[in-house]
Amino acid sequence: MTVFGNSVATLLLLAGSTFGSSPGVSPVKVNEISLGPAGFVELRNTGSTTADVGGWTVQSCSGGAARILATISPNTVLPPGEYFVIVGSAFSGTVPNGLVVDTVDGTGVIARNRYGAHTDSVGLSSSSPCREAGPATPCADSSLGRDAASRDTDHNADDFACRIPSPGENNT
């Protein structure tokens, strides 16, 4: 391919994924969240093959903007059906595959692949830059998660419901 062809291909890739408001195509989903110092963000590989999530970021949305909450270490892979969990410093459970941050705050989270493409997100208010279509309804004393199959219609109000917190495990 020529330099011009490479540039055009790169621009098309960026326009369709990095800067687009629609999520990129990825089997790795934001599967469950709980906000606060004891909160967590759970990513799940819903695909049939191993997913390399090394270099991915999870961003927290607040005040109409997103900031990096965590960056996943290089060479981190998720086998099919497995989880990666980011927990707040006051989290009291055990999570075999994950990271610890100060707190999981804001009005939602966005997962971005190593190239910066928006792969999946959940937002809890209509003004959250994390939301996909209608925002999910926040839960008072539980987590917010997808169904057991991790169904994703790109409409947070339909995809997320209050759940018994189960970071690193299947949602019930």
Share of the chain above pLDDT 90, in %: 74
What are the distances in angstroms from CA 16 to CA 22, 48, 131? 9, 24, 18
Say what the pLDDT of residue 23 is: 52
The proportion of the chain whose per-residue pLDDT surpasses 70, expressed as a percent, equals 86
Contact 130, 106 (CB under 8 A): yes
Residue 22 has pLDDT above 70, yes or no: no
Give the pLDDT band (50/70/90) at residue 11. very low
The rounded mean pLDDT for the chain is: 86
- Alpha-carbon 97 to chain mean position: 15
Give the residue among 105, 10, 2, 5 at the shortest CA–CA distance from 59. 105
What residue type is 2 in one-letter code? Answer: T
